[in-house]
Amino acid sequence: MINETHCPVGRWLRRKEARPAELIDAALDLFVERGYAATKMEDIAKRAGVTKGTAYLYFCNKEELFKAVIREALLPRVERGEALLEEFQGTAWAAFETLVREWWTTMADPRLSGIPKLMCSECGNFPELARYYKAQIIDRTLKLMLAVLERGMASGEFRRLDADYAVRVLAGPLVKAMIWKHSFGLYEPEPTDYDRFLAVYFDLIRAALAPHSQDLLSQGTLLKGAPQ
């Protein structure tokens, strides 16, 4: 038989343990909706259903709460990619496509896909947050892409190219798609079909990485277009 006198305590303990996650969830909502600068700790506390004082018991300031959002919302996706690549046994192209599709699932969450736009708009005013995001998310993601490119070039599956800069080119359209979704994409008469976007992206990138594309480049075919 349940001791009724202990029930309120149990509920209180569960509530206390859940509060950091509730604050992080509320912060993610508000940072994407309003931006980092315009969001106050008291707004986050209110959205999470606690007092501002309670919020400060778990996070000493808004910067620490933002870092917690990155750690909880995005970093696990990067870590999954790192683990996946470490164990991946297929071709370099299959590894690349798998990593991009894993990362692309972020697009399904309107809050997570809003973070790149948030960082682009706020990084100039909050350099410490920008450095943290770059180190934890951007640099590690580009390192994964670089490892795949180097694997493909070593095996002959991909042509030789400046991999350090190629990864920036590869990541650019994907980041652009997320920023577009939360900016000009809001005003498109017809919403962008992101499945089609990804299909075209893979088609173009695979052709550009193929070993025979080096011959086409040397002949000027890729730059000038096929002869009429």
Do 146 and 53 belong together in one domain? no
Q: Which two tokens stand for residue 200?
A: 């075209």
Residue that has been written with the tokens 């859940």 in this structure: 18
In sequence order, what are the residues at sequence separation of 6 or more whose Cβ sits closer than 8 angstroms to the Cβ of residue 53?
none
Segment holding 72, helix H or strand E: helix 62-73
127 is a domain residue: yes
Domain that holds residue 174: 74-224
Do 102 and 199 belong together in one domain? yes
Do 135 and 82 belong together in one domain? yes
What digits encode the pLDDT tens for the residues 172-226? 999 999 999 999 999 999 999 999 999 999 999 999 999 976 554 455 544 444 4
Scanning 89-189, the segments in alpha helix (DSSP H) are 92-104, 115-122, 127-133, 139-155, 163-181
67 is a domain residue: no
CATH of the domain at 133: 1.10.357
Q: What is the reported pTM?
A: 0.81
Q: Of 21, 37, 62, which marks where a domain is finished? A: 62
Do 124 and 103 belong together in one domain? yes
CATH of the domain at 47: 1.10.10.60
Do 42 and 98 belong together in one domain? no
**What is the arithmetic mean of pLDDT over 112-136?**
93
Do 10 and 79 belong together in one domain? no
Please give the torsion angle defined by the CA atoms of residues 65, 71, 77 and 79, in that order, rounded to the nearest 10 degrees: 180
Question: Higher-confidence residue: 220 or 149?
Answer: 149
Do 160 and 189 belong together in one domain? yes
Count how many domains the chain has.
Answer: 2
Can you list the pairs that 215-224 forms with residues at least 24 positions away whose Cβ atoms lie under 8 Å? none
What digits encode the pLDDT tens for the residues 18-68? 689 999 999 999 999 999 999 999 999 999 999 999 999 999 999 999 999
Contact 209, 152 (CB under 8 A): yes
Q: What is the C-alpha to C-alpha distance for residues 42 and 24, in angstroms, rounded to an integer? A: 13
